[in-house]
Structure 1
Amino acid sequence: LKPQARLRAIAAGQSEGPAAGGHGPLGERAPAMSFAVNPSRLRKQNAESEAAAAAKQQKADRERIRRLIITLGDDNKKMVGQIKGLAGALEDDVELHGDLMAETVLECAKNLPMKANVYAAWVARMAEKQPAWANSLLPRILDDLRALLQTGRAVLAQVLLQFTIGLGNCGVIGLNSMCDLLQGVVGLSDGLKQSKGGDLGVYVALSALPFVSAAAHAKAGDKLAGVMQRAEAYMASRDTSAKSLLQIVRTYGTPDRLEALLASLEAFKAAKWCSQVVRHVPGFEPALESKPGLEELGSLGMTAEDVRKSKVRMQVPLMSSQFLTGGSVSDGADDHMALHDRWVLEEYVLLIIETFGKDVDECAKQILRIPVLHPEFEAITIETLFSQMLRLPSPPMLPLFYTRLLGAMMDMQKSTKALVQQCFSVLISRVADLDEECMDVLAEVYAYQLMHNAYQADWSPFIGDKATEQGQRFVRRVLDRLQRLSFHQNLLHRLPENIHVYVPPEPVPASGLSVQLKPEFKEMLGLVKIKDPNDAPVVEFCSKLQRRPVEAAAPEEASAGADFAPTESAPPAEDAGAARDGQSEEPEAKRRRVGEEGAAVPGGSEGEGGAA
């Protein structure tokens, strides 16, 4: 039928065809439904495509915002312009992506310690046009800081508090509320002993004071002095008797970082709170009260009792031992770094290791990018890494991490290679005064260093009259660990002949064991291959051995083992026959006895590997 005739027939009820797109009774395809009959189909497709495009665009916008915030301040020369430009670029995105922006800037402030003041300056620029968004950050800052202190994550709490100090320097929060927060943090140590977490609040609060700008000190100097006085009262009763146990070199009287922090703050005060290491973004002026439209920072909402209940413990590490720069200070050289700048530089290095420790190459880049122009920058950095590596009772990272970090820094900055070699030489010359655990760590790291340096080193301290007893012990430990990284013949080939006496004997496999005489052992050796290994036949053979019965042990072995085996009471005489009759019903493992050669066989029959 023609289409017109078919439609008339359907309307008259003469024949009913299938749904649109199907086939009629004569096998002819029915006409598809037109847009006039089903107009919502196209509209639905258009709506779905528009929703997908909107979701894709929103995802791209979120990635763009995160990338712009994370990379802010990477270029020191264009930092001020980048801050102002990014504030103008993201001003219109606050309505849709304000939460994302707040979350991202807080994560960056906690995990990028070198840019805490940069993000504070950007928030200050955003607060000029979006004060409500800036106010929404303040409760989040307090919640995160409180959570970090309650869980004892002092490093992240330090960086977040530095970011908060930056907000006070830029006028986002008033200096009065900033000082109240510092008082709350230092108050977490009130009445607590050092062993009960007393160092936590004092250390976190005082470590933020070097980042207070000179202008903020000029306006709120009295309140900041009150914070220091409260910390000094805690330090007066602080027990430091265990500090001598943490010395890397016994002859060094290195103070811990909390003691050095108090001394560095006095040096900061003498320098009128100016530093070559701490960078502040220009163009901002602090104030005692918040600007109109901006809220004040709330209280911390945490006390020393909360620290005591949380059982948070914090061990303040020692200052870095001056393996390389100690001579310049004792000689009265005028080009050594000031105490307060040195403390901040070491703090930067430790914070970077803590936050970038999972990526060795990025960690090395961040350390070398610290914006400090000083002749002792590289030497102090190497000293800090070695002191962190040998930290007692245990370093925060494995020795392999510090080896890779030093190697990456030497590859990126060639001038650090001589400093690393010099630091090893100084430590080897003082090996007699080195702590025993530090010697083990140093031996392992020096073995890695030898491999990294193609087995080239200064062997003179271990040869001839210069070879002390402690030096010989050290080089034996080094070569023992080096043999695990290489092999015996390679050491004899690569090392000088006069060092071969310290090389440990070649490790050889055990021989002459009774198990090696068994045919199964020889068959296993044939299956295990070094070249083109295949574990499938080995696993199958082991499974086959496990299914075999166990041979009977020798009488003397059985009697020797009987002295240590648990005793069981013998069954009554009348039950002995019943026990023998029921032997066939028990599992096979319960009916085994030990054969002459130690293999397993069923009781009463000869096994495959030995006699019954």
Structure 2
Amino acid sequence: MNSRQDRRRHADGSLPFSNEVEVDTKRRRAPESQSELERRVVDLIMHIGEKPGQTSLESNLEKLVTLLEGELEKIGTRIIETIIECAKNLPDKLTIYSTLVGLLNAKNYNFGGEIVEKLVTDLQTILEKEKHRHAVNLVTFICDLANCRVLSLTSVVEFLEGLLEAAGEEGVPQVRSDWFVYAVLRSLPWIGVELKEKKTEELENLLGGIEAYMQQRSRTHIRILQVWTGSTHEQEEYLECLHEQIKLLGGANWQEKHIARMYIAFDAVLGDALQHNLPTLAPPPHTPTSNYPLPHVVFRLFDYADCPEDGPVLPGAHSIERHLIDEELGWIIDLNEMNRKDCAEALLNYAHRASVPLPYVVLETVFSRVFTLPDSPQPRLFYGALLIELCRLQPNTFPQVLAQAAELLYDRAHEMQPVCLDRFVDWFSYHLSNFQYRWSWQDWNDCLEADVLDNKFILAKEVLEKCMRFSYYERILEILPESHKRLQPAKPDVIYPMEDETHPEFERARHFQALFQEKLTAEAMIEELRVEEQTGEGPEFDSTSFSVFFAVLLKLASKSFSHNFAALTRYHKTLKAVVANSPSMQQVLLSTLYGCWRNNTQMLLIIIDKLLKMQILDCNVVVVWIFNSEDAQQEHSRQWLWEMLNNSLDKLSKHVAKCTRDVDSLKEAKQRKAVKKDEEKEEKDDQEMEEEAAEIDGELLTKEAEVEALVESQKRIFLDVLMKFATALTARLKEQGDGAEKSLWYTFVQGRMRHVFLSHEPVIRAFSEELELELVANSDLDKRAIQVFAEFRALRA
């Protein structure tokens, strides 16, 4: 069986586990090598619980225990490592592995001790490596081992108390404390019943400590992470939501029906097992470079009223089942993120599909990831492809529910954060392009009379423009009803008015056109653009001639992207010579480009990106043009303009990162050279070695100076961008008073400010102190205008 078939077999749970065990235990076979034995055992452990076939899972567990017990002496270490790896990476089968450990511990006490020691050691290492997702799975696994009589309940309580104590440390960021509280809360559904029955007082103390922590923690960060800016729709922060779900579970005596507790079937065997105590876990101390998971908001789109009355009921938002379903579907997506088809099949084969309205919970999980801020866990194109695959596999249910979801999102679009609105536009236009652009546009009639800054109008207009990128102009006109002319995109042709003989620059344009047809060289073109009578103080090049030259170049190259790239490459020297160290000429270039391609925003974005790569345009000039140009002012409601801003800032950050890596490489080369110095002494004289060292030092100093200047420039540009937002918001507040905060303009600009903070979080974080001095200490700025900075700072506070 090839590897792809094996992956599919693993994904759909079709491994005939019972047959494998029966054959391997009954059939006499030749002695196998240790490596072959290890591979066979690892495979059996990994695939336990996947479509048991003719025999029950309980029977398969017993057979596997018998097999493993006989091999502990040979490959006990490998067995322990495999079980822990499975507990880390396959949390949906966690209770199977805890039961397996319990049964092995009942038969071999030493094995139980070894796996407990290894478990705590691995957890310590994982925490030090900041792999928090794996760590929380191991915390839950440790708690479940108490249910299987591997660990004493007392030591598990002390373990949880230790985690809660770490959350109470002073002088550490809230995100660190949040993670430890989350780890405790997340494990309680597994161990809550045992604690309630046997350690009631300790459980109450744990819950009391969590309650006290939740009461005092800051909530400033929540608003920047919310999908919707209003209070109409439920948007709880993840830790607050889980806390409420645990409180509701506690009120129900910790009784839930979702977790498959495999150990119950073996209660008689496990009850007589000797138990172990957990070694002490020392959470790694916080350091300035420590990195913790960012908080997030729990996304809710559907409630029980949206689901069919004759089907399964959607669990309530504060039921623990809703949390467990969300987590399990998220695990499926994470495990199958490399293959949309396997992922779709695994979601449709969800173990609890009969007890939940599957299309609704799956779509809510997928959209929660699409709209996760600051960024989605997987590339957003993956989610679009996954939704198409789900519609293909279940054409009678998923397309209808997906249309219902799109309608709900449209209805709530007026309160959607601009960054999330952009993601909705990108997904919806991509989805329509795969379904022949069929959509009931009449259902969106209310956007036709809306303001240009109303999110519903922006959504509809941007969706149609993005659809045009996947198709062609005439096709979009076909799908759009006659009544929706206001949404109709402009024809995406190049604008070139100088063909008209009455145009004042007609003769000059014809002259440049002739030069291009003669294939004049880039060097000669520089001379054509140079001012004839150059004075010492005057400009070297004429801005009008340059604008005409560039417009003609764009017109002649307008046939395709490749024609544009070829023209820009051919006249790279010309462009570089004219605009080098001249922000005003770069502004002329941008204005000319906009004038020619304003009806084709895709072409605009691609050419500007190319000009940035060719270092013809500077990022700070693009920023100034976006905020100060009259041309850009009329485009502020358009998605492409903010896409251009963030692309430019991102390109600058990547350039800084590359130069920083170059410096690190030079430092490593210098270190390697120093190590080899003694070896080369015999072959080279001191002068030669000193010259080589001086050459590396010189290159390193040059590169370090370049990086320092780039970082300073990057900092100045980001500060300038954020200051422009804050100044604009302050001015509007002074003009319109308190009512300004509720205006469409204010919420839109504030949303775009959040967009910049979220899109460049790591970069802005590096100089947040300077930003604080620039914004917070500036008495001219209204405190409400810089509220976004407080939200941003609280993300990792």
Tell me which amino acid in the other structure corresponds to 2:298.
M
> 1:311 — aligned with what?
290
Structure 1 residue aligned with 2:123: 145
The answer as to 2:45 corresponding to 1:64 is no
Note closer, same or farther for the CA distance 1:221–1:72 as it changes in structure 2 (3 Å cut): farther
Aligned to 2:51: 75
Helix, strand or coil for the counterpart of 2:355? coil
**Identity percentage of aligned residues:** 22
Larger deviation: 255-264 or 440-449?
255-264
Q: Which of 153, 177, 181 matches 1:202? A: 181
1:407, CA displacement in angstroms? 2.4
* Residue in 1 that maps onto 2:246: 265
Paired with 1:288 and 1:302, the residues of 2 have a C-alpha distance of: 31
Structure 1 stretches lacking a partner, 5+ long? 1-52, 523-544, 566-593, 601-612
| Matches of 1:424 and 1:502, distance apart in 2 | 19
One-letter code aligned to 2:405: C
Q: Matches of 1:509 and 1:342 in 2, distance apart?
A: 52
Equivalent positions of 1:422-461 (< 5 A) are 422-461=404-443
Deviates more, 1:365-374 or 1:461-470: 461-470
Deviation at 1:413, TM superposition (A): 3.9
Which of the numbers 363, 370, 373 marks the counterpart of 1:382?
A: 363
Q: 2:344 aligns with which of 341, 353, 364?
A: 364
Cα shift at 1:236? 1.6
Cα deviation, residue 258, structure 1: 0.9
CA–CA separation in structure 1 for the residues paired with 2:108 and 2:295? 40
Larger radius of gyration: 1
Q: Aligned partners of 1:561 and 1:177: how far apart in 2?
A: 84
1:261 and 1:141 map into 2 onto residues whose CA distance is 26
Question: Which amino acid is the alignment partner of residue 303 of structure 2?
Answer: T
Question: How many pairs does the alignment contain?
Answer: 489
Deviation at 1:550, TM superposition (A): 6.0
| RMSD over aligned Cα atoms | 3.8
Give 1:230's aligned residue. Answer: 209
Q: Deviations over 1:440-465 (max 9, x none)?
A: 11010101211232311221133478
Deviations 1:214-262 (A, max 9, x none): 3454123332332222222211210113323322122224221211112
| Inter-partner Cα distance in structure 1 for 2:257 and 2:341 | 26
Aligned to 2:794: none
Q: Does 1:410 align with 2:364?
A: no
2:700 alignment partner in structure 1: none
Instruction: State the SS of the aligned residue for 1:283.
Output: helix
Alignment partner, residue 751 of structure 2: none
**Distance of 1:234 and 1:287 partners within structure 2:** 40
* Structure-2-length-normalised TM-score: 0.55
From 515, 518, 525, the counterpart of 2:516: 518
The answer for the alignment partner of 1:392 in structure 2 is 373
Equivalent runs, 1:90-129 vs 2, <5 Å: 90-129=68-107
Distance between the aligned counterparts of 2:447 and 2:306, measured in 1? 30
CA distance in 1, matches of 2:87, 2:574: 69
Deviations 1:335-392 (A, max 9, x none): 4424121122122223333444333333334433433243444423322321221123
1:246-279 Cα offsets, whole Å, 9 max, x none, are: 2212222422121111211121122222213222
Residues 554 and 56 (structure 1), Cα distance of their counterparts in 2 relative to 1, 3 Å cut: farther
Maintained 8 Å contact 2:531/2:539: no
SS in 1 for 2:527: coil
Question: Comparing both structures, which one devotes a greater share of its residues to helix?
Answer: 2
Write the letter of the residue equivalent to 1:403.
G
**Change over 3 Å in CA distance of 1:411–1:516 after alignment to 2:** farther
The answer for the alignment partner of 1:211 in structure 2 is: 190
The structural deviation recorded for 1:59 is 4.0
| Matched residue, 1:480 | 465
User: Is the 1:200–1:314 Cα contact (8 Å) retained in structure 2?
Assistant: yes
Tell me how far apart the structure 1 counterparts of residues 205 and 403 of structure 2 sit (CA, whole Å).
45
**Paired position in structure 2 for 1:184:** 162
* Superposed CA offset, 1:87-113 (max 9, x none): 122322223322222222222111112
Q: Which amino acid aligns with 1:84?
A: E
Superposed CA deviations along residues 427-451 of structure 1, whole A, max 9, x for unmatched, are 1012111111111110101012112
Q: Distance in 2 between matches of 1:288 and 1:182?
A: 23
Q: Judge conservation of contact 1:216–1:286 (CA < 8 Å) in 2.
A: no
CA contact (8 A) 1:171 1:287 kept: no
**Is the Cα contact below 8 Å between 1:390 and 1:441 reproduced in 2?**
yes
In the alignment, the residues of structure 1 paired with residue 43 and residue 487 of structure 2 have an alpha-carbon distance, to the nearest angstrom, of 54
Equivalent position amino acid for 2:362 in 1: T
SS at match of 1:241: coil
State the shift of 1:120 in Å.
Answer: 0.8
> CA–CA distance in 2 between the matches of 1:197 and 1:216?
26
Structure 1 residue 422 displacement after superposition: 0.7
Please say if residues 166 and 180 of structure 2, whose CA atoms lie closer than 8 Å, have aligned partners that are also in contact. yes
Deviation at 1:597, TM superposition (A): 8.9
Contact 1:197/1:308, CA 8 A, preserved across alignment: no
How far apart, CA to CA, are the structure 1 residues paired with 2:152 and 2:389?
Answer: 43
Equivalent residues of 1:444, 1:478 under 8 A apart:
yes
8 Å CA contact 2:155–2:278 kept in 1: the answer is yes
What is the CA–CA distance in structure 2 between the aligned matches of 1:550 and 1:95, rounded to whole Å?
82
Between the aligned partners of 2:218 and 2:268, the Cα distance in structure 1 is: 38
Deviation at 1:402, TM superposition (A): 1.7
What is the alpha-carbon distance in structure 2 between the residues aligned to residue 185 and residue 143 of structure 1?
Answer: 15
Change (3 A) 1:302 1:597: closer
Structure 1 residues 201 and 555: CA distance shift in structure 2, 3 A: closer
Counterpart of 1:240 in 2: which secondary structure? Answer: coil
Specify whether residues 318 and 213 from structure 1 end up closer, same or farther in structure 2 by C-alpha distance, changes over 3 A only: same
The one-letter code matched in structure 1 to 2:463 is V
**Counterpart of 2:364 in structure 1: which amino acid?**
E
Partner residue, 1:345: 325
Q: Deviations over 1:111-136 (max 9, x none)?
A: 11211111111111222333333322
Cα distance 1:495–1:98, how it changes in 2: closer, same or farther (>3 A)? Answer: farther
Partner of 1:240 in structure 2?
219
- Quote the Cα distance in structure 2 between the aligned partners of 1:154 and 1:253: 27
Aligned equivalents of 2:260, 2:493: Cα separation in 1: 59
Alignment of 1:150-165 (within 5 A): 150-165=128-143
**Maintained 8 Å contact 2:222/2:237:** yes
* AA at the equivalent of 2:44: L
User: Structure 1 residues 466 and 562 mapped into 2: Cα distance closer, same or farther (>3 Å)?
Assistant: closer
Structure 1 residues 139 and 324: CA distance shift in structure 2, 3 A: same
Following the alignment from structure 1 to structure 2, what is the Cα–Cα distance between the partners of residues 597 and 452? 43
1:178 Cα shift? 1.4
Residue 209 of structure 1 deviates from its aligned partner by 0.8
Verify the 8 A CA contact 1:173 1:297 in the aligned structure 2: yes
Q: Is the 8 A contact 2:102 2:149 kept in 1?
A: yes
The answer to whether the 8 Å contact 1:219/1:288 transfers is no
Q: Deviations over 1:479-505 (max 9, x none)?
A: 222222333344345555555653433
Contact kept in structure 1, 2:106 and 2:273, CA below 8 Å: no
Matched letter for residue 132 of structure 1: N
